[in-house]
Each structure stands twice: as structure tokens, then as C-alpha cells.
Amino acid sequence: MSQHLRPLAELRDEARSALARGELGRAREALWGALQHTIAREEEYVALTGEMREVFNRLGDVRAALTVAWYAGTEKTQAPLLERAPAIDRARTLLAWADRETGMERQQQLYARAADEYEAAGLVAQAAIARERGHDFGRARALWSRLSQLLSSSGSDFYAAGLARFNLARTSLRTGDAAAAREAVFASVHLLEEAADRYETIGQRERAFDCYQVLIAIGRESGAFEHVLEGYVNVIRILREDHLRYYALQSYEEAVSAAEKQGETSAAATLSREMAAYARKEGLPAVANFAMLTQARLWQEVSVLALRRGSPPEIAENALLAAVIALGEAGQYRKVGDVYRALSELPLEASRQKHYGRARERYVDAQDLSIDAAPLPAHLRHEMGFPEVWHVDLVEWEQAGSASQAAGDVVLDASQWSEVTRRRAMLARLTALAIEEQEARGAFREASGGYVTLAEQLSTVELYTILSPLETLFRRPETHVRVAVVRALSRFLYKRTFTTLREALADRDPTVVHEGAKSMEELRFPHAFDPLARIYREAQSAQVRQSAVRALSKIDTFEAAELLLGIIRHDGSEERMAAVDALRRASGMKFIDLARGAMPGLSGPAQAAVRDILQSRGVNV
């Protein structure tokens, strides 16, 4: 099914002529070539899928026919194919119908039918999700319970087991069983903490990040603030370590708000203090001042609450002293005086009351400095919508790296993905289905030839959900398949990409290592710093280390600049030469700023190298 890109009109004419002669194979090949025109006008492409659906149907390839019907077809064109399709495709089709349905009664019927089909296919997690969407929480709970027991007994995947337990807790709450929900929450938290520790140990912090996000959700669902706090503290830590400062500051704001709503005012004040220090370090004084003033307000609230509860006055005193420090750092001296007055009125021993009274007198005529204090501005904010990983990641686990299933999900989701992305996913699914059919009839050599094509097609989709099929393909024994996967990975700008890439860089075949090093140089995005730095430090190959240096030179962060300067100062000549060459052609300014300040303290060779870089970038030294 491969053909060079010939003109679309020519291919359609060829297909129609072949159909008129009854040559279905020739028609299929011509239409396959036409479908490669993934940037064609929508009306043309829809017509092509209709023609291809008819050809596949007449050839008896129901799964392929249904796949192209998913792109732009309707229930009317898809329904006749369902009876002959396998349960998994019936389920996915019915689920898509249900998601689009506006009538409540029919929608619930469709979700129920989809769940039945998923169960028939042995896909418990997806069946449970369909039950939830149809508000059948009782049956959903039974399915989550079954999956939880299965995963817990296997002990092989703490993350999936933790997600299943969380879903069991959610549905137990919705069915009114609070005791079962508490038990499931406890088990889920334990499993997710274990999973997060393991992920961080092996350098997969993006997966640990997911664990901590679920902990936040668990805390919100169960009302247990300690889980919310644990989740946010670790989410913020990972975002800071990945140098995603705006995401980190937004998460700080969310954490402070969550703590206030839960009545955890001391925790909110402490988080505000940390946020202020971080914002100041990152060169955002207005945000730092805003956090500092928030901290002062919260400490004063802590004091009021402590007195109201009848707590020892020392608790209120300590809170107000913390407010004094915060307001002093923000230059709000009149407000400092107001807080000292409140301190002098606390039921403390006389000597301390007098001390605070004298301090208040020093601020009688003090004025607040005029400062810029505002939360993170709108233009620096990011959409923080977090996917329901307790569903999404269990679907991925259940699909087990199936390219046909992952691509099928993209084809069916017209509301989220562009036409071009869905077209590319459709082509990848058709190739994956052909490979599955060949494997089913034992034609493994024939199937092997399609793996490279599949990797190339998956690479054009460029979505996070496609990483799992690529990871599965990389485990193939054929070198040429692993090479194709590694090349594909250069287009996936996600930290998770480095999980497979690191395996490629240690592959037994030098061709795979070479392609891995080339792909690594294309993965230049700010939060790639941590995995790139780790690869640089651990790699035994000079080629890999040099490629890591070239990738790092394209990341314009202070941390990357600091590492590159360290390489120039202390590391081997090959790495130094790679750094100098890459930095000459780089466009970021963080290294320039750092290097200019460090120049006087550098040794002879390092100083010469830095001077060379600066001069080549047009900087006077």
C-alpha cells in the first residue's frame, strides 16, 4: 500500500477507471495514494474517504472500511459495518456516537452498549469509563473493583493500580459507600507514592508528576488536605526543577487558594512565602511583592483564628511576627506599625507588651512604599487544564502500545484534533490494521516490512498519545525498525520521549545510537534540560555527549548556560569544542550574559574559548 505522491486528480481518475473494470486492488492502491494528500481541501478528502470506504467494504476489509468511515462518516454510513466489526471497534464507534448525542436517554443507551462491547473485548478500564459517562456508577464501581484486584495481585504496575483504586474511590463515593471510598483512597495514595518514588529513581519525573497530580485530585475528592498539599508541593518542585517558572508560579497560586479554602491558613501563608522567594529569584518583583503581601495577610488571619479558638497567645504572636517580617521586606512600614499595635494588645506578659508598644511608636509617622504588586499577568499564564489521567493513563495501559487503537482514538476525536492530524492518524491506523492482519495469519516477514512505514506515519501525528505505540515498536528486534522509531522521536517534544531515546543511545547497534544522537539534537525545549544534562553526565560515547552539548546550547535558560560554561571550563577538549561551535551559532542570550560576568575568573583556555564565542556573536569583550 505504498505509492509516491502523484497528483490527486490523476489518482482519483485511476481509481474510478479501476473500479469500472472491477479491479478493486488497483482502485485501493490509487485511493491510498490519494489519501496521502493530507493537506487537501476537506470536501475533496471527505469524498476520498467515502470512495475508499466502499472499496474496503467490497474487499471484505470491514475494520479498514469503518476506519475511513470514522473520519467524516455518519451513523448512517458506519452502522452497516458494525455487525461485522470486532467488539473493540463496535465499542469505540458507539462511544463516539454517545459523546455526540444530545438526547439524554439515547446517550445513556449508547454508553451502555459501548460498555457491553468493551467488556466483550476484555477491556475492563474502558468499559468502566463508558459506564461512568453514562452515569451508571454502580456498574462502573464493580468494574473498577475487578480491575483493582487484578492489578494489585499482579504487583507489576503500581501506577495503574493506584489509578484503578482512585477510580474505585470515586465511584464508591458516588454510590454512597463512604467506608469503601476511604479504604480505596488509602490504598491509592500508598500505591501512587510508591510509583512516584520509582519513577523519580529512574529519571521519569514526568510520570512522577502525573502521580502527584492524581494525589491533588484524591485530596479534593476525599476532602483530605494532606494529599492536596503533598501533591502540590511535589508538582511545584518538579516544575521548578524543569525550569517551567510560569507553570510553577501558577501552581503556587492554586496551592495557596486550595489551602485557604480548606481553612489551612498557616500552610497557605508558608506557600506564599516560598512563592515570593521563588518569584524574586526568577526576576519577577511584582509577583514576589504580591505573594509577600498575601503572606502578611494570611499570617494576620492565622493570629485572629488562633485567638478565636482560644489557643495560647504565643501562637498569635508568632504569626504576627511573621507578618511583620513580610511587610518589612515589602516596604510596607505603616502596616508594620499596625501589626506591632496588634502585638502590643495580645494577652502576653507585661514586658513583651511594652516591647511591642515601643516598637509601634517607631512607626507612628512611617509610610508604605509605593510598590508594584500583582499576580502573574495574563500573558504569562498557560492553560493549566490537566487531563483526567486516572482515565487517560489506564486507557493507555489497557491498549498496551497498540498503534491501531491509539491512532483510532485520534481519528474519532474531531472536536480536539485538526483535520490534518486526524488524516495522518487514519493512515497510521490503516497501516497498523494491515500489520495486525498479517501477523494474525502468520505472515510475520510480510508484517515486518510495514513496521518502518508505520513508524514514519506515526511520526507525523506528533501527539503525546502516540508515544506508547512508538515505545512498543522500539522493542522490535529489527534494527531498521528501531532506527525508524528513533528518527520519529525527533518530532515529539515531550520529556517522556527521552525514556526511549536513552535506551536508543545505549543500543547494541551503532546505527541506532547514531540516529538517537541526531534525534536528541532536535529535542530543544526548556524542560528538556534535565534529561539532556543527565544524558551528558552518564553517556560513555563521545558522539552522544557532543550531541547532548549541541542540544543544550539551543536551550536558553540560566541552568543550561551554567552547565555549558562548566563544560568549557572543566571538561574534555572534544566536549569543549562542541560547546564552542554550538554556542557560536546559538541565538539565546542567557549564556552571553553569564559568560561576560564570568570572563575575568576563567583560566587561559576557557577564557579564550568564551572570548571566541562572544566575538562570533558580535559581543565586545
Q: 3-state DSSP call for residue 549?
A: helix
Q: Is residue 147 part of a domain?
A: no
* Residue 263 sits in the same domain as residue 358: no
The residue written with cell numbers 467515502 in the block is 50
Q: State the Cα–Cα distance between residues 301 and 486, nearest whole angstrom.
A: 55
Segment 519-555, tens digit of pLDDT: 999 998 877 888 898 899 888 888 899 999 999 999 9
Q: Which domain holds residue 360?
A: 285-375
Q: Which three cell numbers stand for residue 239?
A: 516544575
Cα Rg of the chain, angstroms: 30
Q: Are residues 392 and 260 located together in one domain of the fold?
A: yes
Task: Please tell me the pTM assigned to this model.
Answer: 0.85
- Banded model confidence at residue 385, pLDDT cuts 50, 70, 90: low
Q: Choose one of 85, 117, 141: the last residue of a domain.
A: 85
Read off the CATH number of the domain in which 76 is found.
1.25.40
Of 64, 85, 106, the domain-final residue: 85
The set of cell numbers assigned to 598 is: 564570568
In a domain, 129, yes or no: no
State how far the alpha carbon of 503 is from the alpha carbons of 107, 228, 497, 531, 598, in Å: 45, 34, 10, 13, 36
Q: Are residues 467 and 547 in the same domain?
A: yes
Confidence grade of residue 4 (pLDDT, cut at 50, 70, 90): low
What is the 8-class DSSP label of residue 375?
Answer: P
Residue 439 covered by a domain: yes
Shared domain check, 563 and 497: yes
Q: For residue 436, tell me if it sits in a domain.
A: yes
* Pair 351, 423 in one domain: no
Specify whether 177 is located in the same domain as 314. no
Distances (CA, A) of 464 to 321, 420, 582: 48, 16, 29
Is 391 within the bounds of a domain? Answer: yes
Which pLDDT value is given to residue 1? 42
557: CATH: 1.25.10.10
Distances (CA, A) of 445 to 402, 486, 614: 19, 22, 55
Together in a domain, 209 and 335: no
Domain count across the chain: 4
Instruction: Output the average pLDDT for the chain.
Output: 92
Q: 553, 564 in Cβ contact below 8 A? A: yes
> Do residues 393 and 408 both lie within one domain?
no
Among 532, 541, 595, CA closest to 572: 541
Q: Mark 586-620 as b/e (b = at least 16 C-beta within 10 Å).
A: beeebbbebbeebeeebeeebbebbeebbeebeee
* Crossing angle of helices 313-329 and 333-344, rounded to 10°: 170
Residue 471 has pLDDT above 60, yes or no: yes
37 band by pLDDT with thresholds 50, 70 and 90: very high
Residue 203 has φ and ψ, to the nearest 5°, of 80, 15
d(CA 618, CA 597): 16
Residue 120 lies in a domain: no
Mean pLDDT check: name the lowest of 82-86, 168-172, 443-447, 547-551.
Answer: 443-447
Residue 404 lies in a domain: yes
* C-alpha cell, 288: 514576589
pLDDT for residue 614 is more than 60: yes
| Shared-domain flag, residues 200 and 304 | no
- Closest-CA residue to 525 (of 489, 563, 493): 493
377 or 501, which is more confident? 501
Q: Which three cell numbers stand for residue 324?
A: 511583620
468 lies in the same domain as 368: no
Q: Which three cell numbers stand for residue 577?
A: 569544542
| Separation between Cα atoms, residue 191 and residue 168, nearest integer Å | 14
Q: Are residues 197 and 72 part of one domain?
A: no
Q: What is the pLDDT of residue 3?
A: 45
Q: Which residue has the cell 473485548?
A: 121
Asked if residue 605 and residue 469 are part of one domain, the reply reads yes
Of 85, 100, 125, which residue sits at a domain end?
85
Count of other CB atoms within 10 angstroms of residue 179: 8
Phi, psi of 332 (to 5 degrees): -95, 75
In a domain, 112, yes or no: no
